[in-house]
């Protein structure tokens, strides 16, 4: 698993999960988090402080699950302002590669 992809997706999902826990997410954001938790295979949601570790631990060895979550986040990013930050974090990321720099001199 590419560490940049893992870190980016973990960050995006942590933001989404935190917003939902705080009650600051729209209905679309809540639905997106619910679908994401299903893809992660969680029956119980971890504490907010444990979200990054729980997300990364689940995704680090499962490229297919990562692909599904990236697609879900990408599709949702333009539908609602409460999930735009999550979509922005994902940006042009695919679960297969990330563009780190255009030119390295």
Instruction: Give me the residue spans of the domains in the chain.
Output: 3-90
Each residue of 3-21: pLDDT tens digit? Answer: 888 998 898 899 889 988 9
Residue 98's pLDDT is 46
Nearest to 97 by CA among 62, 63, 58: 63
Query: E-strand spans in 15-103?
Result: none
Determine the pLDDT at residue 93: 55
What average pLDDT does the structure give for the chain?
80
- pLDDT, tens only, 17-73: 998 899 988 888 889 999 999 999 998 999 999 999 999 999 999 999 998 998 888
Tell which residue, 20, 1, 7, has the closest CA to residue 90: 7
pLDDT of 101 above 80:
no
The DSSP H or E segment spanning 5 is helix 3-22
Using alpha carbons only, what angle is made at residue 93 by residues 90 and 99, rounded to the nearest 5 degrees? 125
Distance of CA 63 to the CA centre of its chain: 13
Instruction: Find out whether 48 and 17 touch, Cβ atoms under 8 Å.
Output: yes
For residue 92, how far is the Cα from the chain centroid? 13
Which pTM does this prediction carry?
0.76
Instruction: Report the pLDDT averaged over residues 83-92.
Output: 57
């Amino acid at each position: 698993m590419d560490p940049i992809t893992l870190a980016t997706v973990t960050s995006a999902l942590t933001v989404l999960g935190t917003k939902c826990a705080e009650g600051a997410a729209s209905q679309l954001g809540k639905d997106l988090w619910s679908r994401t938790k299903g893809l992660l295979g969680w029956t119980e949601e971890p504490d907010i402080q444990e979200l990054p570790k729980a997300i990364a631990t689940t995704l680090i060895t499962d490229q297919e699950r990562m692909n599904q979550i990236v697609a879900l986040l990408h599709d949702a990013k333009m539908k609602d302002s409460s999930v735009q930050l999550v979509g922005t974090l994902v940006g042009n990321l695919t679960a297969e590669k990330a563009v780190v720099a255009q030119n390295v001199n």
